Structure 1
């Protein structure tokens, strides 16, 4: 989703189906408020969250929304899907018209999924150049070996894309379970990295993104709004 910025006069003209000259008349006569302030300039830049009224009639009043969802197995990170239930379909009681997913999970992956209508916020969280940590609990089909740790730390070359992954942290928790921290998100990256050792991933569960940790009180399929501290933990450049 891209942040929708534009000129105030274009928005009002399009919304009310009037000319830009008529819009200037409304501005001159103090009929337009933007975020509670009188608007005088026709080229004032607004976005999808600007609160705009004209003659006391609200023309736009979208509020920023931020949620975490404990994504269950078998749910797709999508708005619409013909075969499977969707993450947005689980957001009961929420206006999902403008929501998008910040950092998708595969069909059978579970755990922390973030949803928002704030494109700037999600871009700051997920843009590759920002290198935000993403932590996963991984269960493997075969016993883990110590040699995996160094291979993850060194990065792996993916011939198909002609790229080398950034160093990743791998902590061995038990014979078949590990914790992985990535600073990127290549296609099926964790599965492909363990695939180098012919060790299939049985389960993949995202525990955190940056400083936002999955609320362990949320059952699979449940969600809640992010706290102000969680929202503010994402540094927007």
Structure 2
């Protein structure tokens, strides 16, 4: 079996950038293979080829996969120009160049996956694969069943349709005027849950992602991380492609 891979795929797998951006870098003449500039998108390379992006050689790392219980008040990024804490600050012992798969808002806690495998990240994030994510939201106000049904049909915000595929009322505090909702999404648009609930008129007071595909936070504390087992990685791949 051939071990040749498309150049843009190899760049994306290294975690340097997305496949789409890798294609642009190739077309712009920013990529070299064995010292020669390559601008052809169909180019294939072997593991022995030396690939450089913007003059920096890609390092061949073994793929790693981590689950992180992100606290509130942490940026889902590799750096922050305001000096705030970022997710990779919690991985000082990791040598590999890992990056978050998708993101969780600054004020949202819960499951976040990190890896250096761009293919795996793209697989889980692609909307067509519909990997389910379960959130628990504490909201201000007590919506009716009719109002909550709108979540399943979708609500519009800034030209986007935001919806949940399931919801479950966990508790209602009539004295404080709050409700705790479990929401299952197949998409992950920016501030999806918060924007969706704001459009209904019930702002989110607290938000946590409790499940990502088959993965849960069982046995983990806020700020902790652990490697995914090979079985979990395989299950997540299969779950995304089913």
TM-score over 0.5 (shorter chain)? yes
Residues 196-211 of structure 1 mapped to structure 2, 5 A cutoff? 196-211=199-214
> Secondary structure of 2:13's match?
coil
- Distance change >3 Å, CA 105–CA 183, structure 1 → 2: same
Structure 1 position 145, deviation (Å): 2.8
Q: Which runs of 5+ in 1 are unaligned?
A: 20-42, 53-58
- TM-score relative to the length of structure 2: 0.71
- TM-score relative to the length of structure 1: 0.73
Deviations for 1:187-235, whole angstroms, at most 9, x for unmatched residues? 2121121112321101110011112222x22211110000112111223
> Secondary structure of 2:196's match?
helix
2:181 match: 178
> Secondary structure of 2:138's match?
strand
Structure 1 position 166, deviation (Å): 4.6
CA RMSD after TM alignment: 2.7
Structure 1 position 45, deviation (Å): 2.6
The partner residue of 2:12 within 2, 27, 34 is: 2
The partner residue of 1:225 within 197, 204, 227 is: 227
1:85 match: 85
Conserved in 2, the CA contact under 8 Å of 1:73 and 1:110? yes
1:39 match: none
Conserved in 2, the CA contact under 8 Å of 1:51 and 1:61? no
* 1:63 aligned onto 2:66: no
- Distance change >3 Å, CA 44–CA 125, structure 1 → 2: closer
2:114 match: 115
Conserved in 2, the CA contact under 8 Å of 1:155 and 1:168? no
Conserved in 1, the CA contact under 8 Å of 2:164 and 2:183? no
Conserved in 1, the CA contact under 8 Å of 2:194 and 2:204? yes
User: 1:194 and 1:208 mapped to 2: Cα distance?
Assistant: 19
- Distance change >3 Å, CA 173–CA 90, structure 1 → 2: same
| Alignment coverage as a number of residue pairs | 194
Divergent runs of 4+, >4 A: none
* 1:145 aligned onto 2:144: yes
Structure 1 position 60, deviation (Å): 5.7
User: 2:198 and 2:165 mapped to 1: Cα distance?
Assistant: 15
Q: Which runs of 5+ in 2 are unaligned?
A: 1-10, 15-21, 27-31, 37-42, 50-57, 173-178
> Secondary structure of 1:174's match?
strand
Deviations for 1:155-213, whole angstroms, at most 9, x for unmatched residues? 1223x22x333552111111110100011112212112111232110111001111222
Conserved in 2, the CA contact under 8 Å of 1:139 and 1:203? yes
Conserved in 1, the CA contact under 8 Å of 2:133 and 2:186? yes
Conserved in 2, the CA contact under 8 Å of 1:51 and 1:62? no
- Distance change >3 Å, CA 69–CA 226, structure 1 → 2: same
